[in-house]
Chains A and B, each alone.
Chain A
Amino acid sequence: MKTSKKVIFVMIALVIALTAVLAACGGEKDIAVIARTSGSGTRDAFESIVKSEDGTALKDAGLMKGALEQDKTSTVISLVSSTETGIGYVSLGSVDDSVKVLKVEGVEATAENVLSGDYKMQRPFVIMTSKAMGENLTAATKDFLAFLRSTQAQDVVKEEGYVRQDEGATEYTAPASAVSGTVSISGSTSVDPLMDKLIGKYKEIGGASVAGVEISKNCQGTSHGISAVKADKTGNVIGLGSSAVKEADEAEIAHFEIALDAIAVIVNPENALEDITIAQLFDIYTGKTVKFSALSAA
Chain B
Amino acid sequence: MGKSSIKEACGKVVFAATAALCIAAAAAIFVFIIMKSIPALAETGLANFLFGTEWAPDANDVYGQPLAGSYGILPMLVGTLVATVCALLVGGTLGFFTAVFLSYYCKGKVKAVFTSVINLLAGVPSVIFGFFGIKVVMPLFNMLSPNGNSSGLLLTSVILGMMIFPTVASLSKTALEAVPQAYYEGALALGGTRDQAVFRTVVPAARSGITAAMILGVGRALGETMAVVMVAGNSPQFPEGLFSSFRTMTANIVLEMGYAGEMQMGALFATGGVLLVFVAITVILLSLVTSDKKSKGRGGKKFGFSLFNGRKICFAGKAFSFVSAAFALAFLAALIIYLLVMGLPHLSGQLLFGAYEYGGEISILPSVAATLMTVGISLVIALPLGICAAIFLSEYAGSRNPLVRIIRGAIDVLSGVPSIVYGLFGAVTFVTLLGGNYSIAAGSLTISVMLLPTVIRATEESLRAVPMSLREGALALGAGKLRTVFTVVLPSAMPGIIAAAILSVGRVMSESAPFMFTMGSSIQPMPEGAMSGGTTLAVLLYYLSGENLYTDEAYACACVLMLIVLLLNIAAEVAGRALQRKFQGEKNADKKSKRNRKKVLEQAKENG
User: What is A's interface to B at a CB cutoff of 8 Å?
Assistant: 3-4, 7-8, 11, 22-23, 29-32, 37-40, 62, 65-75, 77-79, 82-86, 90-91, 93-96, 189-190, 192-193, 196-201, 203-204, 215-224, 248
Contact = CB atoms under 8 A, between A and B. Distances in A.
Q: Give the 9 A-B residue pairs with the shortest CB-CB distance, closest first.
A: A200-B359, A39-B259, A29-B148, A32-B149, A220-B258, A221-B258, A199-B358, A30-B147, A85-B148
A127 B446 CA distance: 33
A84 B143 CA distance: 10
B522 A86 contact: no
Nearest to B143: A22
A156 to B, nearest CB: 8
A196 B523 contact: yes
B523 A85 contact: no
Given A11-B323, A66-B245, A96 B237 contact: no
B144 A75 contact: no
Contact of B233 (A30, A69, A85, A197): A69
Contact of A219 (B60, B319, B522): B522
A30 B146 contact: yes
Interface string B109-145: 0000000000000000000000100110011001111
Contact of B357 (A11, A38, A69, A200): A200
A93 B546 CA distance: 13
B520 A218 contact: yes
A23 B258 contact: no
A96 B551 contact: yes
A86 B547 contact: no
A215 B524 CA distance: 10
B104 to A, nearest CB: 13
A80 to B, nearest CB: 9
22 contacts: A3-B315, A4-B322, A4-B323, A32-B148, A37-B234, A38-B259, A65-B237, A72-B546, A74-B547, A79-B138, A79-B149, A86-B148, A94-B547, A96-B548, A189-B546, A193-B549, A196-B359, A200-B360, A203-B357, A204-B359, A218-B520, A218-B521
A222 B146 CA distance: 35
Main secondary structure of the interface of B (DSSP, over half): loop
B260 interface: yes
A161 to B, nearest CB: 10
Contacts of A196: 358-359, 523
Given A4-B319, A32-B149, A39-B256, A65 B234 contact: no
A73 B546 contact: yes
A228 to B, nearest CB: 11
Contacts of B255: 37, 69, 71
Nearest to A5: B322
A90 B135 CA distance: 19
Contacts of B521: 218-220
A93 B550 CA distance: 12
Contact of A218 (B149, B261, B522, B549): B522
A62 B56 CA distance: 10
Contacts of B139: 82
B147 A29 contact: yes
A82 B142 contact: yes
A220 to B, nearest CB: 4
A39 B267 CA distance: 15
B178 to A, nearest CB: 26
B145 A39 contact: no
Interface residues of B, number: 59
B38 interface: no
Interface string B234-272: 111100000011010000001111111100000000000
Contacts of B143: 22-23
A73 B149 contact: no
Contacts of B149: 32, 68, 79, 83, 85-86
Contacts of A220: 257-259, 521
Max chain B C-beta neighbours (<10 A), residue from A66, A215, A221: A66
Contacts of B258: 39, 189, 220-221, 223-224
Nearest to B230: A75
A145 to B, nearest CB: 16
B322 A74 contact: no
Nearest to B134: A78
Nearest to B316: A7
A143 to B, nearest CB: 15
B326 interface: yes
Interface string B210-251: 000000000000000000011001111100000011010000
Contacts of A11: 323
Interface string B520-564: 111100000000010000000000011111010000000000000
A65 B359 contact: no
B93 interface: no
Given A85-B149, A197-B359, A203-B357, A94 B549 contact: yes
Contacts of A22: 143-144
A72 B545 CA distance: 9
Interface string B30-42: 0000000000000
Given A39-B259, A65-B235, A223-B258, A192 B546 contact: yes
B273 interface: no
Nearest to B360: A200
Nearest to B517: A220
Max chain B C-beta neighbours (<10 A), residue from A78, A85, A189, A248: A78
Contacts of A83: 138, 142, 148-149
